[in-house]
Chains A and B, each alone.
Chain A
């Protein structure tokens, strides 16, 4: 295991340990106490295991988990960014179908191995997006009758 995963393991397990301790603190201090009996039980075990994992990471004894390589992070970030914007903002602000269509097309354009200079590949992406949206609309709007936020666009 290289130094990078070790640093990553320390950061990740440190964050989990902080969450575990916070949950334990909330469980033991919140009222009514009776509502927190079970969470106290869970939070205590959670905090102990999380601190144990953190100490192991600090000592460099973590055996499993390869962390995230720089290459994987660079490849993932554009897609993750699009997904986050789509889910946390665009789906509600623009309307479900518009946002889904846009996100689908952008993701396809970002990760499709076909060359960007080829006009045919763009046509293919447009057709795939249109086909996917037709299926989604048919399934959710027509078959399942799910009402989705339409907002400023469809």
Chain B
């Protein structure tokens, strides 16, 4: 119950003001199609430089939580999911809105998000110290395998092609080796002065997540989507409360599915929402109503995609292994403040860690209350033309990258990686494993070198890295995730035509 000791820190004027700012900003950014939670958090990092570590994290955490929920606004009122996590919400939410139940759908989505989100954060609160305690026993070989596991699991589960996912992870791991090697005092792969100090994570994250979106907006040309915002009639919130808790099966399935999926690195909110929707449909007594504007569809999808937010941070805070791209961006936010997450985070920086987690708890309630009031405004922002969005994101990306170290080199790195990532994505590569490789590369290398030194002085490299139950467990998880993904890819290929695959990819992009 240590978290209760630091709960009051969330309510200091600055911290609470930042929480409010992050929540409102996140709800509006989340409703904007094309601005994913990861990209929103990456663009916000430069604004945290002048803040205290816990203040910066409160802002980023609030933005993360509320962008996921805010995406439901455009999914319901415009039929455009604000983020991939809200795809399942569109299925019933928009149909409800077209039937004149837009306000009810929004209320249900925010209430279900809050319930799922609160459960997820409580899971984070109670699981993190336990896992952190276990993680203290980890040696260099275990941390090396954990880093490899992080890249492999995301590379295989997050990508539509296992080979391309793993290749993206390798590109990220290689990018992490660029620069000056502190241990051996050697320069590695320095082909341009901009990368002589290595690749800074923050500009790289901004480039990898923001620039492909900017270019995607360019490809839409001068078209205007003219998405019609469905007007919202008044609906008593009391009835929405009753409805959410009356549909307890959907709520429970969504919350549990989202929490479990959140703990698995790389799976993400999109899968959480879709799996919860599918499972709720199977267990519902009114399964035939799904897709026709049924409240259970909205409740299951939204409780799931917000329930995964808290658990997705467990591996980050305990093992310093980000479990999702957004967690990787949050890791970047921690690193710029000189805080390295891991098992000793709660001993060295308990105030930072617990204030951050508590702020996510309070943020869920704020997000629910504020979301109901600013849904209309958020939907209007969602109609901002692509041209304005593309130019704004480009400007923010350039200024944000420059402000990290006041270096044009960082801006060049940001742009080069971003442009390259756009083209890589068009050929089936994914940004998530690349980012994980870039972030986990130094962890993997440092522990590999340290482990090799210990091994050379003791049992030898092979025995050190390939013996012991924990090493074997981690290796088995790596192999299992690769095998599972290969099997899924083969079976999906057996039942899917090329045209289906192309259509599905177009729909998701």
Contact = CB atoms under 8 A, between A and B. Distances in A.
Interface in B93-141: none
Nearest to A92: B408
A26 B509 CA distance: 36
B426 A75 contact: no
Given A37-B449, A79-B390, A146-B406, A91 B222 contact: no
Nearest to A43: B174
B415 A67 contact: no
Contacts of A112: 222, 385, 387-388
B462 interface: no
Interface in B351-372: none
Contact of A75 (B46, B221, B444, B509): B221
A31 to B, nearest CB: 8
B399 A38 contact: no
B238 interface: no
Contact of B398 (A42, A53, A100, A144): A100
B395 A132 contact: yes
Interface string A17-56: 0001001001000111011111101110110011011001
Contacts of A64: 159-161, 164, 428, 501, 505
Contacts, number: 192
Contacts of A20: 170
Contact of A91 (B221, B408, B498): B408
A126 interface: no
Interface in A115-154: 128, 132, 136, 139-140, 143-149
Main secondary structure of the interface of B (DSSP, over half): helix
Interface residues of B, number: 72
Nearest to A9: B427
Contacts of A43: 174
Nearest to A44: B170
Q: How large is the interface on A (under 10, 10 to 19, 20 to 34, 35 or more residues)?
A: 35 or more
Contact of A111 (B160, B171, B188, B221): B221
B435 to A, nearest CB: 16
Q: Which 10 pairs show the lowest CB-CB distances between chains A and B?
A: A65-B428, A64-B428, A79-B218, A111-B387, A35-B184, A35-B186, A113-B224, A75-B221, A65-B427, A46-B170
Given A103-B395, A144-B46, 12 more contacts: A62-B428, A63-B160, A64-B161, A64-B164, A65-B429, A87-B411, A87-B415, A88-B415, A107-B387, A113-B385, A113-B387, A144-B49
